[in-house]
Structure 1
Amino acid sequence: MADDEIDYNIVFPDAGTSERHWQGTKEPVVILLGWAGCKDKHLSKYSSIYNEQGCVTIRYTAPLKTVFISESFGYKELSGTAHKLLEILYDYEVENSPVFFHVFSNGGFMLYRYVVELLHSDKQFSSLCVIGAVVDSAPGSGNVRGALRALTATLGPNVSPVLKYFLLTLFAVTVFLLRIVLYPLTKYIHKNHYDAVRERPPAWPHFSLYSRADQVIRHKDITLFVETLRQKDIQVDSFDFVSSAHVSHFRDFPEQYALKCRNFLVTCMKDLEGTEIKKRYQVHNQ
Structure 2
Amino acid sequence: MTLRLTSKQPLLCEAQGVGSSRGHSNPVRDNTAPTMGHDIPATTGVEAADDANARQNPLVVVLAWMKAKDAHLQRYHDLYMDQGFDVLTVKTDPMQLAFPTNKGSQYIAQMVLDFLLNNPNYARLVVHAFSVGGYQMGEMLVRMHKGGSRYLDLMPRFKAQVYDSLVDYTGIPTGFPTALTKNQFLRKVLEIMIRVQSVIMYPMSTVHYKAASRAFHDNPLTCPALMINSKEDRVSGLEDNIRVADCWRKKGLDVAFCTFDDSKHVQHMGKYPDQYVNEVLRLLRKVQLAA
Whether TM-score is above 0.5 comes out as yes
The alignment yields a C-alpha RMSD, in angstroms, of: 3.2
Residues 203-240 of structure 1 show CA distances to partners (whole Å, capped at 9, x for unaligned) of 32211000011011111111111111112222211110
State the AA in 1 paired with 2:6. Answer: F
Give the paired residue count: 244
SS at match of 1:237: strand
1:97 and 2:126 equivalent?
no
State the AA in 2 paired with 1:54. Answer: G
Distance 2:270 2:92 in 1: 22
Per the alignment, residue 8 of structure 1 pairs with 2
Per the alignment, residue 213 of structure 1 pairs with 232
Q: State, as a whole percentage, how many aligned pairs show the same letter.
A: 21
1:52 and 2:82 equivalent?
yes
Distance 1:172 1:262 in 2: 37
From the two aligned structures, give the one with the greater helix fraction. 1
Residues 95-149 of structure 1 show CA distances to partners (whole Å, capped at 9, x for unaligned) of 442111000002x112111222333343343312111100000033424334322
Specify whether residues 203 and 181 from structure 1 end up closer, same or farther in structure 2 by C-alpha distance, changes over 3 A only. Answer: farther
Residues 4-23 of structure 1 show CA distances to partners (whole Å, capped at 9, x for unaligned) of xxx423223334x557569x
Per the alignment, residue 99 of structure 2 pairs with 70
How far is 1:40 from its partner?
1.5
Specify whether residues 146 and 96 from structure 1 end up closer, same or farther in structure 2 by C-alpha distance, changes over 3 A only. Answer: closer
State the AA in 1 paired with 2:128. Answer: H
Per the alignment, residue 241 of structure 2 pairs with 222
SS at match of 2:92: coil
1:125 and 2:166 equivalent?
no
Q: Which blocks of at least 5 consecutive residues in structure 1 are unaligned?
A: 1-6, 271-286
CA contact (8 A) 1:31 1:102 kept: yes
Q: Which blocks of at least 5 consecutive residues in structure 2 are unaligned?
A: 16-55
TM-score calculated relative to the size of structure 1 = 0.73
CA contact (8 A) 2:60 2:88 kept: yes
1:36 and 2:66 equivalent?
yes
Distance 2:191 2:244 in 1: 24
State the AA in 2 paired with 1:231. Answer: K
Residues 219-272 of structure 1 show CA distances to partners (whole Å, capped at 9, x for unaligned) of 1111111111112222211110111110011000111111111110121237xx
2:139 pairs with one of 114, 138, 150: 114
Distance 2:239 2:248 in 1: 14
Per the alignment, residue 114 of structure 2 pairs with 87
SS at match of 2:287: helix
TM-score calculated relative to the size of structure 2 = 0.72
Specify whether residues 102 and 262 from structure 1 end up closer, same or farther in structure 2 by C-alpha distance, changes over 3 A only. Answer: same
Q: Which has the larger radius of gyration?
A: 1
Specify whether residues 247 and 56 from structure 1 end up closer, same or farther in structure 2 by C-alpha distance, changes over 3 A only. Answer: same
Specify whether residues 120 and 193 from structure 1 end up closer, same or farther in structure 2 by C-alpha distance, changes over 3 A only. Answer: closer
SS at match of 2:256: strand
Distance 1:21 1:257 in 2: 19
Distance 2:120 2:13 in 1: 19
CA contact (8 A) 2:59 2:124 kept: yes
Per the alignment, residue 273 of structure 1 pairs with none
Per the alignment, residue 4 of structure 1 pairs with none
Specify whether residues 54 and 20 from structure 1 end up closer, same or farther in structure 2 by C-alpha distance, changes over 3 A only. Answer: farther
Specify whether residues 134 and 253 from structure 1 end up closer, same or farther in structure 2 by C-alpha distance, changes over 3 A only. Answer: same
Residues 156-209 of structure 1 show CA distances to partners (whole Å, capped at 9, x for unaligned) of x8xxx9xx94x963x4234313547997xx866662543331145533221100
CA contact (8 A) 1:104 1:135 kept: yes
